[in-house]
Amino acid sequence: MKTNDTQLHSRMAVKIAEIDSICARARIMPVITIAREEDILPLADALAEGGLTVLEITLRSPHGLTAIRRLRAERPGLCVGAGTVLDRQMLAAAEEAGAQFIVTPGSTAELLQAGLESAVPMLPGTSSASDIMLGYGLGYRRFKLFPAEVCGGTAALKALGGPFGGVRFCPTGGVNPENLQRYMALPNVMCVGGTWMFDSQWVKNGDWGRIRQASAEALQLLD
């Protein structure tokens, strides 16, 4: 193995270990799109008080990067990542904002390469065996399955476990209290992503107590 290959393998091993640690802490990862800046801190606090301390802040709204910056500065006990990262420029912006991990909805050669070069661990999105192979060839072994239920749900994950024995997933998209336990029972599932514990109307109404309760109840399903 060439020196550069050895260094790459070593860096990827570290990033895989970092993703494993983040997902083990999360178990359930809220996937958050911030509609109003004033919701950033109270929403994060309600989720954390319910036990959800690893947050994926999507870059689907203009408040995404602001949320990451504020949470990193004002809630240092949380683990805050950036989601819906679509290209190299968004990855760089998320890094600059202080994101501790990166999540993408899908995979492109450019984005996978940017993830290799980044110091921040990345969980690339996949919806097929071909996507997994694209990342696998570059050393990735941890992926986000999205949209999980549309892609085949637990049946798809069981099937993918055959050819990709060393690969593990964070399924997101359609995960809910009714199927949560089925997902988490699979050996190739590290954690799940979801939104059911903070209904958009609850956020709009500032019903932080209800969000705190829903977060705690979600985790209780895994005990």
Closest CA to 203 of 84, 37, 90, 57: 37
Q: In whole angstroms, what is the distance from residue 212 CA to residue 105 CA?
A: 27
Cα distances from 157 to residues 132, 169, 176, 191, in angstroms, run: 12, 8, 16, 13
Q: Which stretches of the chain drop beneath a pLDDT of 50?
A: 1-3
Active-site residue set: 56, 144
Cα distances from 211 to residues 10, 30, 184, in angstroms, run: 40, 11, 22
Q: What percent of the chain has pLDDT over 70?
A: 98
Q: Which CATH class is domain 3-215?
A: alpha beta
Q: What angle do CA 117, 23, 150 make, to 5 degrees?
A: 90
What pLDDT, on the 0 to 100 scale, is given for residue 3?
A: 46
Q: Which tokens sit at 207?
A: 């019903």
pLDDT digits (tens, 9 = 90+) for 21-51: 999 999 999 999 999 999 999 999 999 999 9
pTM for the model? 0.95
What pLDDT, on the 0 to 100 scale, is given for residue 4?
A: 66
